[in-house]
């Protein structure tokens, strides 16, 4: 590979990293909207002591209005599940470039020509992409299903049709049988959604721990030093929980509820920061010391 093609490859890596960083921030903003709407919907429709279990009387949210069943906002919040595959790739590509290891001969980083053999993080990155796609599809797409029963309890059916004389659910709300039905059905939905998303959640945590171990043990062989672990999703989850516990409700509750967004957002920001000038500041310029690679002049000097 000549020098010009090598430089072009390095510039391509730099542009790709920055594009992925921008995409990651945009996906984070989309996901943050969904998380905030999810938290506010839960505040308005569900009890505080049990996860997403329906309360008897609806109250107002802090961020959104729930006077009417605005399904357009529910569907918009659900869009976050569709951006997870894009978000996963925008996260994995910079990490893959950053984990490219040094050549066995020479001291220069060679990220222009990516190699599966030179990246020990290939397997955890594949697990990370899988986990993110499953988590996004299972939890965000399932959000619309979790809103069905609260809507049935808190909005009468005449709001959905032209028959104003039909009281719909209003004559059943408050009865013991209807409350028991709602609790049983909602519990079943939550259990199945959690079981469906559990493989993705486990994959996400396994990949995060694996990446943290690679950063800590092999920081001299790739572009990430040990401080990069401060951006690891596991570390982010820890300090987000601490901050949320210190802040008063509902601010602390909402920050903790958006923990999925914070984990990936800071991982995107961290990888973009460390790799922003990947081929300028991170590249070493040492000359190989092998006698076969030394250049001699006509007078015999090196």
Q: Where are the domains of the chain?
A: 11-282
**Burial state string for 141-171 with b = 16 or more CB within 10 A and e = fewer than 16:** bbbeebbebbbbbbbeeeeeeeeeeeebeee
Which residue from 50, 85, 26, 33 is spatially nearest to 265, judged by alpha carbons? 26
| CA atoms of 135 and 198, how far apart (whole Å) | 8
Dihedral (Cα; 105, 106, 111, 117), 10-degree rounding:
10
Residue 149 in tokens: 């029963």
Note the pLDDT of residue 284: 44
Note the pLDDT of residue 9: 52
Query: Under 8 Å CB-to-CB from 24, ≥6 apart: which residues?
Result: 87, 90, 91, 264, 265, 268, 269, 272
Q: Which residues pair with 252 in a beta bridge?
A: none
Query: Under 8 Å CB-to-CB from 68, ≥6 apart: which residues?
Result: 155, 159
Note the pLDDT of residue 185: 83
CB 302 within 8 A of CB 294: yes
Note the pLDDT of residue 212: 93
Measured CA to CA in angstroms, residue 261 lies from 30, 33, 63, 244 at distances of: 9, 10, 18, 14
pLDDT tens track of the chain, all 302 residues?
Answer: 455 545 555 567 788 999 999 999 999 999 999 889 888 888 888 877 777 777 777 777 888 887 776 777 877 887 778 889 999 999 999 999 888 876 533 333 444 445 555 667 889 999 999 999 988 877 777 777 887 778 777 776 544 445 555 555 555 555 667 778 777 888 888 888 888 888 989 999 999 999 999 998 887 877 888 899 999 999 999 999 999 999 998 899 999 989 889 999 999 999 999 988 776 544 443 334 344 344 444 555 54
| CA atoms of 250 and 170, how far apart (whole Å) | 31
Which residue from 33, 30, 52, 34 is spatially nearest to 43, judged by alpha carbons? 52
Instruction: Tell me which DSSP letter residue 249 carries.
Output: T
CB 129 within 8 A of CB 88: yes
CB 125 within 8 A of CB 96: yes
Residue with tokens 């960083």: 21
64-69: which pairs have CB atoms within 8 A and are 24 or more residues apart? 64/37, 64/40, 66/41, 68/155, 68/159, 69/151, 69/155, 69/159, 69/160
| CA atoms of 230 and 141, how far apart (whole Å) | 30
């Amino acid at each position: 590979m000549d020098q010009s093609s090598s430089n072009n490859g390095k510039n391509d890596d730099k542009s790709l990293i920055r594009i992925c960083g921008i995409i990651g921030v945009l996906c984070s903003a989309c996901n943050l909207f969904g998380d905030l709407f999810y938290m506010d919907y839960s505040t308005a429709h569900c009890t505080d002591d049990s996860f997403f279990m329906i309360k008897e009387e609806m109250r107002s949210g802090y961020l959104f209005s729930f006077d009417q069943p605005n399904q357009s906002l529910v569907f918009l919040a659900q869009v976050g599940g569709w951006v997870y595959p894009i978000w996963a790739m925008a996260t994995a590509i910079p990490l893959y470039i950053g984990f490219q290891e040094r050549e066995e001969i020479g001291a220069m980083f060679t990220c222009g020509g990516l190699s599966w053999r030179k990246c020990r993080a290939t397997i955890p990155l594949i697990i990370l992409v899988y986990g993110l796609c499953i988590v996004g599809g299972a939890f965000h797409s399932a959000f619309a299903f979790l809103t069905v029963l609260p809507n049935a309890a808190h909005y009468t059916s005449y709001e959905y049709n032209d028959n104003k004389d039909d009281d719909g659910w209003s004559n059943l709300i408050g009865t013991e049988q209807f409350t028991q039905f709602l609790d049983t059905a909602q519990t079943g939905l939550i259990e199945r959604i959690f079981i469906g998303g559990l493989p993705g959640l486990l994959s996400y945590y396994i990949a995060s721990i694996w990446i943290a171990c690679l950063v800590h043990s092999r920081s001299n062989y790739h572009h990430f030093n040990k401080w990069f672990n401060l951006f690891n999703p596991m570390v982010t989850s820890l300090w987000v929980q601490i901050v949320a516990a210190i802040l008063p409700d509902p601010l602390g509750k909402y920050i903790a509820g958006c923990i999925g967004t914070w984990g990936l957002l800071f991982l995107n920001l961290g990888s973009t920061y460390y790799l922003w000038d990947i081929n300028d500041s991170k590249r070493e310029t040492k000359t190989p010391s092998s006698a076969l690679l030394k250049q001699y002049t006509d007078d015999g000097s090196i």
